[in-house]
Amino acid sequence: MKHVIIGAGAAGISAARTLRKQSAVDEIVMIATDRLAYSRCMLHKYIGGERDEKGISFVEEDFFESNRIRFCSDRTVTKIDTSNHQVCFADGVESYDKLLIATGAESFFPPIPGLKGAKNVFGLRDLVDARAIKSQGSKAKHVVVIGAGLVGLDVAYGLLEMGKKPTVVEMADTILSSNLDASAALTYQMKFEEAGCMFKLGCKVEGVLSDASGQVSAITLGDGSQLNCDLLVVASGVRPSIGWLADSGIVCERGVVVDNYLATNIANVYAAGDVTGLSESWPNAVEQGEVAAQNMLGMPNEYTDTFSLKNTIHFFGIPSLSVGRLNGKEGDVEESREDRKRYQKVILRDGIPVGVILQGDISRSGFWQQLIKNKVDVSGRSKDIWKVSFADSYGIEDNGEYKWLFD
Amino acid sequence: MRRIIIDADKCKGCKNCSMACIKAHKSSDATLAFADPQFESRNTILLNGEKKYKPLFCRHCDKPACATACMSGAMIKDPKTGHVIYDRDKCATCFMCVMSCPFGVLKPDRMTNTYVVKCDFCAEHGSEPSCVKLCPTKAITAKEVK
C-alpha cells in the first residue's frame, strides 16, 4: 500500500507517524512546499531571533529516515487527478493508493482597497513569510500589523525582539478579543506598550497606499488618519488551503468536506487538520491526522472530539489559558478573583462551567477543559469554585491510568 | 511499561511523596521547605469534597494528551520505556500541555514560567520513582502494566 500525504504540518506529521507505527511495510510519501517540517506556532521565535530554522522543527532530526518516509520537499502540488490516483506537480506526478490532504490553512487578506498587489506586504503563516518579515523588518522604519489576534501579536512580539516598534491596528476594542476577556487582554496590551508596541484599537483600515515602485508607503484608517508604513503584516485570520482543489471533484465548503472518518467524497482520499476547517487548534490537527491514518489503513476510527474553543497564550512571562466562553451571557454566573499576579474567571450556567480564563497562574488547570467539554455540573461540589478539581471525579482504570467519573 | 499505581484509600496525605519529588529534582543544596517557591513537586495530593485524599501523579498515559498538544516536539512518549518525557530545551513554553492534561497534573514552573514541571519517573535515579520509595503506606507503588 502506498500512502501519500500532502503537507508536513501537525496533521500530516501525526498521520505519517501513525501510519508507520501501524504498518512496517507500507510506503509513505510526504510532500511539502518547504524543506522543513516546522511548527508555525514558533515562527515568531524565528523572527525575533530566539530560534533558527532548525530550532522551530517539531520532529526528531532523523524523523523521515528513521520512519522510512520519502520526503518530497520544496514541491507544490498543482492538482489531484483522482481518476488516475495521482497528485500532479508542474513537472511530474506521484501516484497513490491512499491520499491525505493536510495542506493546512493560508493567511486571509481582507478586501482592503490598495492591498492587493502592494509590495512588502506579508501574512505570517509559513516559514517563507517569517523569512520575509525578518529580512524586510531589519530595514523597515514603519512596521504596521493589521490584526491583534494571536498571530498579529506573535508578529509584533517577534518585531519587538528585533528592536522594532510596530503599530498594531485592530478593528475590535481590545486585543486578543477571540481569546481573552477585556481585563486579561489589557494586561498584555500594557506589556506590549511598555515594550514599545503601539495599538490602534477600534480602528478600521480603509486603504493601503503604495509609492511609484509599488512598495507599500502608508495605510489610511477609518478615522481619516494615515500611518506611514514600509512593511505591512496582515494577520486577519486564516482560511483552509483549498484553492488548488477547485477542479479535483473533491467537495469543499469552507474547507475540504469530510465525514466522521475524515474521508472526502472521493474514495481513498482523506483530509485532516486546518484544511478541513473543523478547527484551528494544534491538538485537534494532530488527533485528526492520527484518525485519518487509521482509516487509511482500514482500521475504522471516528473523529469525535471536535471541541476547539481552547487556547493558551504566553507573552512577557505571563501565561494565560482560556477554554469555552470568554464573557458571560444573560443568565450566566461569573466568578472571578485577582491579585497582583493573577486574574481568574469562571463562567457558570446552571451550575455547569461554560468558560474559564486563567492568567498569571495556570498551574494544574487542565481539568477545566474536561469540566467544560463534558458539561459537568459542579454545583453539588465545593461551594468554593476555586476548589473544584479532578478529585471529585477521581477514577482509576485497571492499568493504573486515571479516568473521569461523571455523576 | 512501568507506572506508579495509586491506591487512594491508603493515602494519609502526609506529602512524603511531594517532599521526595522536590528532593529528587532540586539542583541546589538549599534546605528543603514547602513554602520556598523554588521547590516544586511534580505530584500533589488533592482533597475531594468529602475530604478524602486523592493523589495526583502523572500517569504517563497510553495516549498522552500533553504530547498530542505539544507543538515543539518537547513532550513525547518514549516508545521504549512508555514514559512521557519532556525536553526543556525544545520546549517553546506555549503551555498547551498544561491546558490539555485532562487531570490537571502539569504546571509551568512557579518562579519563571519558563518550563513545565513534569514527572520524569526519576530517570536520573535509575527510573525508581523517589516518591514511591518514601510513601509510608504503600498508597503508591511502581508496577509493570500493559
pLDDT tier for residue A189 given thresholds of 50, 70 and 90: very high
The full set of domain ranges for chain A reads 2-106+239-296, 121-236, 318-404
Same fold, A2-106+239-296 and A121-236: yes
Partner-chain residue, chosen from B3, B48, B110, that has the shortest CB–CB distance to A392: B48
pLDDT tier for residue B37 given thresholds of 50, 70 and 90: confident
Decide if B98 touches A, using CB distance below 8 A.
yes
The full set of domain ranges for chain B reads 1-57+125-146, 60-118
Cβ contact, residue pair B108, A319, below 8 Å: yes
pLDDT at B38: 86
Partners of B73 on chain A (C-beta within 8 Å) are 39, 57-60
DSSP one-letter code for B3: E
- In tens, the pLDDT along B85-135 reads 999 999 999 999 999 999 999 999 999 999 999 999 999 889 899 999 999
* A2-106+239-296 homologous superfamily: FAD/NAD(P)-binding domain (3.50.50.60)
pLDDT tier for residue B27 given thresholds of 50, 70 and 90: confident
- Provide the CATH number for the domain formed by A121-236 in this structure: 3.50.50.60
Specify the residue for cell string 473543523: A278
Cβ contact, residue pair A369, B95, below 8 Å: no
* A318-404 homologous superfamily: FAD/NAD-linked reductase, C-terminal dimerisation domain (3.30.390.30)
What's the mean pLDDT in B5-33?
90
pLDDT at A62: 95
Cα dihedral angle (A331, A332, A338, A344), rounded to 10 degrees? Answer: -170
- In tens, the pLDDT along A268-279 reads 999 999 999 998
Same fold, B1-57+125-146 and B60-118: yes
pLDDT at A22: 95
Decide if B65 touches A, using CB distance below 8 A.
yes
Contact by Cβ (8 Å): B113, A361: no
What's the mean pLDDT in A267-293?
96
- In tens, the pLDDT along A196-227 reads 999 999 999 999 999 999 999 999 999 999 99
Check whether domain B1-57+125-146 has CATH 3.30.70.20, yes or no: yes
Decide if B104 touches A, using CB distance below 8 A.
yes
Active site residue A72: no
pLDDT at A347: 98
Residue of B nearest to A314 (CA): B94
Sign of the alpha-carbon dihedral angle for A107, A229, A172, A191 = positive
Architecture of domain B60-118: 2-Layer Sandwich (3.30)
- In tens, the pLDDT along A355-378 reads 999 999 999 999 999 999 999 999
- In tens, the pLDDT along A57-112 reads 999 999 999 999 999 999 999 999 999 999 999 999 999 999 999 999 999 999 99
Cβ contact, residue pair B108, A58, below 8 Å: no
